[in-house]
């Protein structure tokens, strides 16, 4: 894969993550700012670092599995590694303008 192909695949993976909805807030994990890092390396391995809105989030396992599943659906992706982190802790300012506007 070329750099451009990796970037296109990373962009496609980010778009697929917009289908993952946080059940508490009803917004997708990308717009909420829950995806801290997303990259796709040569060979189609996706690396995702994400968080949840709170450390005690009851949906943490659901969200992690949904993120893995969403990116795994892309035919060029061979492997997905999802890491859950709480550093830095999520704050509402991490939402993009669209999500912030929708949530008020």
**For position 38, which CATH number holds?**
3.30.300.130
Please report the pLDDT score of residue 1 as a whole number: 66
Please choose, from the candidates 68, 52, 69, the residue with its C-alpha nearest in 3D space to the C-alpha of residue 60: 52
Domain span at 72: 3-103
Strands 35-41 and 45-50 come out as: antiparallel
Q: What digits encode the pLDDT tens for the residues 33-90?
A: 999 999 998 788 999 999 999 999 999 999 999 999 999 999 999 999 999 999 999 9
Please report the pLDDT score of residue 57 as a whole number: 94
Q: What digits encode the pLDDT tens for the residues 15-37?
A: 999 999 999 999 999 999 999 99
């Amino acid at each position: 894969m070329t750099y451009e192909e990796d970037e296109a695949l990373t962009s496609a993976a980010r778009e697929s993550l917009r289908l993952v909805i946080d059940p508490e807030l009803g917004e997708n994990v990308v717009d909420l700012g829950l995806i801290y890092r997303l990259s796709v390396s040569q060979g189609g391995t996706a690396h995702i670092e994400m968080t949840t809105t709170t450390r005690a989030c009851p949906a943490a396992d659901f969200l992690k599995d949904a993120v893995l599943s969403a990116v795994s659906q892309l035919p060029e992706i061979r492997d997905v590694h999802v890491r859950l982190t709480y550093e830095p802790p999520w704050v509402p300012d991490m939402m993009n303008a669209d999500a912030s506007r929708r949530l008020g």
